[in-house]
Amino acid sequence: MRASLGAIGLAIREVRGDGNCLFRSVSDQLTGSEESHWELRLRAVAFMRAHRDDFEPFVDTDEHDSWEEYLSDMACEGEWGGNMELVALSRAAKVNVCVHQPDAPRWEVTHFSPRRRTIHVSYHDGSHYNSVRLAGDASYRRAAPFRIEGAGASYCECEEPPSDEEDAGGEGPGALDAAAERVRGAVGTEVSLAAAHAALEEAGGDEDGAVAVLAAASGGAPAKPLPAAGKAGKGRGMTRKQAKQARRRAEQAARLASAAAEGDVVEAARAAAGSKGAKRGKFKATASEPAAAAAAAAEGEEVLSASMRVLAI
- Catalytically active residues, by annotation: 18, 21, 128
**Phi and psi angles of residue 291, each rounded to the nearest 5 degrees, phi first:** -65, -45
Contact 142, 29 (CB under 8 A): yes
Distance of CA 129 to the CA centre of its chain: 15
Q: What is the CA radius of gyration of the chain?
A: 20
Side-chain-side CA neighbours of 222 within 13 Å: the count stands at: 27
Contact 102, 130 (CB under 8 A): no
Contact 26, 40 (CB under 8 A): yes
Dihedral of CA atoms 207, 210, 211, 213 in degrees, nearest 10, equals 160
Q: How many CB atoms are closer than 10 A to CB 53?
A: 6
Task: Give CA–CA dist 272/269, Å, rounded.
Answer: 5
Q: For the chain, first and last CA: distance in Å?
A: 36
Nearest residue to 201 via CA among 39, 51, 26? 51
Q: How many CB atoms are closer than 10 A to CB 142?
A: 17
Distance of CA 50 to the CA centre of its chain: 12
Distance of CA 7 to the CA centre of its chain: 33
Buried b / exposed e across 144-182, counting CB within 10 Å, b at 16+? eeeeeeeeeeeebeeeeebeeeebeeeebeeebeebbee
